[in-house]
Each structure stands twice: as structure tokens, then as C-alpha cells.
Amino acid sequence: SGKQLIRSRSGLRMVVPHDSAGSSEPSPLSLDEPAWQSDRDCPACSLCSCRFSLSNRRHHCRRCGVCACSDCCQHRLPLPRMGFVDPVLHCQACAEATRAEAGFYGRQIRLLIAGCTFELSLGGSAAGVFVCRLATDQRSLQFEGGGSGLTSTKPEPIPLLAVQSCDLVTVIDSDASSLPCGIRICWRNSSGESVRAELSSRRPETQRATLAWVSALQTAMKIVADFKRRTMTECSID
């Protein structure tokens, strides 16, 4: 799977090394382990201000690193976005965020990695039939197959961080209703050029699988957008 088991301050984690596949970039679908708020700087809970004592001990949220009391940091949950093997402590706000992501990291990300078969169009020209899947390092979308397509050239992977937009592709059915049948992805390639790919499947027998995969990709791109916002905020602070 390209992952390795590491022991961190917060516990055991299965992570994709930042330098795997020759890349120094982390996956935008993952979270790095935060720096813990220093015990020396926290005589009281950062969330409710109650003072720490022998009976009221310090705890750290594994997702944000805040130093809090047991009442404010009492949720022990799986945190697959950070690769923890076992459930870890969360503060209330982080527990809500982790629960909101549970459907994606518990089910949808597996759909993306398994892949789905689409008719691929690049720049408005038909390229053939390919399986599109999330790479195991969770940094890009990759294409496989193409045996029944119009070209023998396998399309280049689409880096998630390079994606500019993701929009549903629809088709009009016999009742004049608009039905989703795929997704249109726009991104900038390594040369800085804007590229558009359309992935669609109009076969009724694959419609459910297609829509499930497309829905998972839309969720993934929301997480990528959040990653970009956080990165820009951290850069502006630095």
C-alpha cells in the first residue's frame, strides 16, 4: 500500500511517507500530526479555563494539539485521516470534525482507490475507456487500461492539488430529466496549462457504481480544498 508504521508521541500511525514516489508533498487527504501545546504554557484548560491539579490532569487533543482537561478532551475516536491505528483523544470541536469525515475515510476512500470505469474525453476529444482510481499514496488520480479505447497512450495522472474545478456531467433521459453520468475535472498540468477531462458512463447497469465513485470524488475534493485553505493560512502566518 506504500504506507509505513511509525510510532509517534500520540501513538502508532500508518502513514504514506512524504518522499514516496519521489514526491516531497504530503497527501492533501491526510493530516500531519500537530505540535502539542506546551504544558508549561497551560496552567489551565485552554477550552474552559479550569486550573490543572493532581486530580484535574492535562490532556492533549491528538487532532489539534490543544491542552485541555478531561471534560473538554474526553472523546476517544478513530482518526484515519491521520493514520492512527487505535482510537485517540479528541476535544469536542475535533470530535465533531472527525465524525463528519467518518463516511469518507471509512467507505468512500476505498471506492476511490478501487476505481471505476469511464469513457474518457480529454480537451473535448474522445480518448477511450479507462479505469480511474485514486493512487495508493492518495496524491493523484491515475488511469489504467485503455484496451478498448481510441488511443494507446495512457493519460498522465491528475495531481489532486492541481485540480481547479470538479463538476457533474449530466445527460437528458427520455423524460427530459437531467441525470448525472460522470464528472468533469479541470486542472493545471506540469507545464502550467489548463487541461479538461470528462469522465462519463452512460450504461444503466453501471450507473449506481458510477454515481457512488463520483460522489466520493466530490467529497475528496472538498477535503483537498480545505487542505489548500489551511496551507495558505499557515504560509501567511509564517
pLDDT at position 151 is 54
- The per-residue DSSP string of 129-142 comes to EEEEEE-TTSSEEE
Q: Which domains does the chain have, with CATH numbers?
A: 4-112 (3.30.40.10), 115-237 (2.30.29.160)
pLDDT at position 158 is 95
Let me know how many helices (H) and strands (E) the chain has, helices first.
3, 13
C-alpha cell at 195: 487541461
pLDDT at position 150 is 54
pLDDT at position 8 is 86
* Those residues with Cβ within 8 angstroms of residue 117's Cβ, 6 or more apart along the chain or in another chain: 129, 130, 131, 145, 201, 206
pLDDT at position 147 is 53
Map 165-194 to HEC letters: EEEEEEEECCCCCEEEEEEEEEEECCCCCE
**Is residue 171 within 8 Å of 185, Cβ to Cβ?**
no
pLDDT at position 99 is 97
CA atoms lying within 13 Å on the CB side of residue 110 = 6
Going by C-alpha positions, the residue among 131, 182, 128, 192 that lies closest to residue 159 is 192
Residues in the chain, pLDDT under 70: 1-2, 17-24, 146-152, 174, 176, 235-238
- The per-residue DSSP string of 5-25 comes to EEEETTEEEEE--TTGGG--S
pLDDT at position 238 is 55
